[in-house]
């Protein structure tokens, strides 16, 4: 009886971890193993770990490094794949090479495929002590430029199941828009979309009510009335640091971030030049 119990225990362990290596004795459910090998039958050097409530398989396929994220039921959520710079879509390369980061050293390039969301391309760059992650859509739109925290995982890019009222609002207000990222921040839900060729951040409160939509704007896109309102204000001598256009239930406006020395101010100006 004791020998039979031991054999059953060993068989269960094999079903859990298969022939893959695991970090810190991570036990991989059989359904996760099955789903993984169905997606990546040619995977080698597989190592499993737990991360943010997911099972993560680091592996190689045709010599290329990958990380695949599964839930404990075997549902696939995301895979990030190391790729050479030349393998980027032409639109992404053109956008990067025209950006302010074009002269920075490229440290790593990844392709991030996810369930329910658009594919992203992440270019990690560095210049002296600064390191940045640049997130691009497949058609070359720069979605985000964030400081690289050195985390080798992309758990901030994991897809989320959005509430029905959120997706319905986006579909109605921005027909045809593609959802790229979503995260909860300070009690709000921030959803990044591509509306045609324009990147927007659509923000909802904890009850999924729309708060505002933010769109980055170039100075050349500012209405003349907004420019005049700024230049006729007490902050005319300040330098323009950043501009965003806000759509909100109470009305739309431009927000100008200005600075002079250590002083920073934000001006909110309606399209007709009215100071808010």
Of 31, 32, 29, 35, nearest in space to 16 by CA: 29
Q: What is the DSSP letter of 206?
A: T
85: which strand partners? Answer: none
Q: Is the pLDDT of residue 272 over 90?
A: yes
Q: What is the per-residue pLDDT across 99-125, written as a single tens digit (0 to 9) for each?
A: 999 999 999 999 999 987 889 999 999
Of 34, 23, 119, nearest in space to 72 by CA: 34
pTM above 0.75, yes or no: no
CATH number of 219-269: 3.10.450.360
How many CB atoms lie under 10 A from the CB of residue 65?
A: 15
- CATH class entry, domain 164-216: alpha beta
d(CA 105, CA 113): 24
Q: What pLDDT does 112 receive?
A: 94
CATH number of 2-157: 3.10.450.360
Residue 123, CB half-sphere, CA atoms under 13 Å: how many?
Answer: 31
Q: What pLDDT does 129 receive?
A: 84
d(CA 255, CA 253): 7
Do the domains 2-157 and 219-269 sit in the same CATH topology, yes or no? yes
Domain boundaries of the chain, sorted by first residue: 2-157, 164-216, 219-269
Q: What is the per-residue pLDDT across 21-70, written as a single tens digit (0 to 9) for each?
A: 455 568 899 999 999 999 999 999 999 999 888 999 999 999 999 999 99
Q: Is-contact 211 204, C-beta < 8 A?
A: yes
């Amino acid at each position: 009886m004791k020998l039979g119990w031991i054999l059953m225990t060993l068989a269960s362990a094999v079903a859990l971890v298969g022939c893959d290596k695991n970090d810190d004795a991570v036990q991989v459910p059989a359904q996760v193993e099955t789903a993984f090998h169905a997606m990546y039958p040619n995977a080698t050097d597989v190592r499993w770990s737990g991360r943010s409530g997911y099972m993560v398989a680091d592996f190689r396929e045709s010599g290329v490094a990958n990380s695949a994220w599964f839930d404990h039921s075997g549902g696939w959520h995301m895979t990030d794949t190391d790729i050479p710079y030349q393998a980027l879509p032409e639109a992404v390369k053109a956008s990067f090479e025209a950006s302010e980061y074009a002269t920075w050293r490229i440290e790593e390039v990844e392709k991030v495929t996810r369930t329910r969301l658009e594919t992203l391309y992440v270019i990690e760059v560095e210049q002296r002590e600064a390191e940045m992650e640049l997130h691009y859509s497949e058609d070359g739109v720069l979605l985000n430029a964030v400081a690289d925290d050195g985390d080798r995982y992309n758990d901030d890019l994991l897809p989320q199941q959005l509430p029905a009222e959120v997706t319905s609002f986006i579909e109605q207000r921005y027909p045809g828009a593609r959802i790229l990222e979503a995260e909860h921040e300070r009690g709000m839900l921030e959803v990044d979309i591509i509306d045609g060729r324009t990147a927007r951040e659509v923000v909802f409160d904890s009850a999924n009510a729309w708060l505002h939509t933010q769109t980055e704007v170039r100075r050349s896109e500012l209405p003349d009335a907004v420019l005049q309102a700024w230049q006729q204000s007490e902050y005319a001598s300040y330098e323009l640091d950043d501009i965003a256009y806000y759509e909100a239930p109470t009305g739309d406006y431009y927000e100008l971030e200005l600075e002079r020395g250590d002083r920073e101010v934000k001006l909110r100006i309606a399209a007709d030049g009215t100071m808010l």
